[in-house]
Copies of this chain bind each other. A is one copy, B any other.
């Protein structure tokens, strides 16, 4: 029995693994659109049971959380956090093949959710199956928590965590959902995630749209919203809400060391996103500090009035926006939403209604934690060189709910995976190497 045999088993089952992944990818499990959750749960139940896991489905106010466990009586437990929901497929006409009909081209699998994060679910499961085929059972206890609302901000994961506290708290480490290689093909390791506050805004001023010849009489909902958004953040990206920066934790010396050493591949980023110059002309350490250490305020969507051809002259009575704020350690979304509401009220923006919101805090794991060391060493050995260490990623995840469990994010995506965008994809090779990494990690850990 050797890991080499496990690797051979993984290679042998490659086509099987791709088939299982494609079956999962065909299920349009979009939390935002409230589709596909029951089908995804049913499919997960089937494949985890076949792999020898015990599973249970934890109901919440929203989509249920799928949990699976393989207890071998070890003192150590490794947890995987994943999600079976995916981003909406819009704009669907920019896809080269239908988002929920997986297609293989140029050594890549294309489908919505393949990189975020159905690819990792199957990669992790298949790695464990291959390991067990050779060794009979894993050397440690394995658990999976696969939720169904990550892409809408995990509004009900806290309910799950409160209901099933021990399921999480006795884990010695957690492999987080996402990750992959950078533009040069180097594997990356993420030690933390930002928090988030997601706001759904609605402005309604008067009873109905008005011919714009009468605009003097009424409040234009679109203009009210424009003014309200313009005072939240200035053009230097400083958020103007009083107290917004009050509770932010000072970065540690260890954080600053990682940030300084971190090689931000600016040219690669520019090419990838079609950026001529980074925002505010920043570069080098200033740009890295902005990225890793500052909270953000971002308009995700905005709409009001007439959007068709030609020139309708109308004063809209309703306007809408979706805004996300990425939070850094120390910031609490509930505290911030109260500050934002107060700021708008004090500036006479009572028209602006926060119709819905969700969010959670940031979280991170120390690079010196034994679990972090194990993950980094494993990747170094499988890949043959050092991974890139991200002290914190710009994206968010409900990692704070796993308090006390060191969480590290790795995965099988890459720089052009197009997560959240058309033509989402992963390389088949990365999918396979990912399995080997997981197999080696459970062996070592």
Contacts and interface: CB of A to CB of B under 8 A. Distances in A.
- How many protomers of this protein does the assembly include? 2
Chain A at the B interface: SS class? mixed
A316 B421 CA distance: 11
Given A88-B310, A230-B227, A358-B311, A300 B32 contact: no
A222 B273 contact: no
B31 A213 contact: no
Given A227-B230, A312-B32, A212 B324 contact: yes
A299 B291 CA distance: 33
A133 to B, nearest CB: 37
Given A304-B301, A311-B200, A226 B230 contact: yes
Interface in A197-220: 198, 200, 206-220
13 contacts: A31-B310, A32-B311, A32-B312, A194-B213, A198-B311, A212-B326, A213-B393, A217-B278, A225-B302, A300-B312, A301-B304, A306-B322, A311-B324
- Shortest 9 CB-CB distances between A and B: which pairs? A207-B274, A32-B310, A213-B395, A213-B394, A230-B230, A222-B299, A301-B305, A301-B306, A215-B298
Nearest to A358: B311
Contacts of A302: 222, 225-226, 302-305, 307, 316, 319
A314 B308 CA distance: 23
A137 interface: no
Given A300-B311, A303-B304, 17 more contacts: A33-B309, A196-B313, A206-B275, A207-B275, A211-B421, A212-B296, A212-B326, A213-B393, A215-B298, A217-B275, A218-B278, A226-B229, A300-B312, A300-B314, A301-B304, A302-B305, A307-B322
A276 to B, nearest CB: 8
Interface in A77-120: 87-88, 90
A313 B299 contact: no
A217 to B, nearest CB: 5
A200 B306 CA distance: 12
Contacts of A76: none
Q: What size tier do the contact residues of chain A reach? A: 35 or more
B309 A301 contact: no
A294 interface: yes
A396 interface: yes
Interface of A: 30-34, 87-88, 90, 151-153, 194, 196, 198, 200, 206-220, 222-223, 225-227, 229-230, 233, 235, 237, 269, 273-276, 278-279, 287, 290-291, 294, 296, 298-317, 319-320, 322, 324, 326, 358, 393-396, 419-421
Contacts of A31: 310
Contacts of A152: 310-311
Nearest to A315: B298
A301 B316 contact: yes
A298 B278 CA distance: 32
Contacts of A220: 298-299
Given A211-B419, A291-B216, A313 B222 contact: no
A87 B32 contact: no
Contacts of A394: 211, 213-216
A421 to B, nearest CB: 6
Contacts of A211: 394-395, 419-421
Nearest to A32: B310
Contacts of A223: 229, 233, 298-299
Contacts of A279: 216-219
Contact of A308 (B32, B153, B275): B32
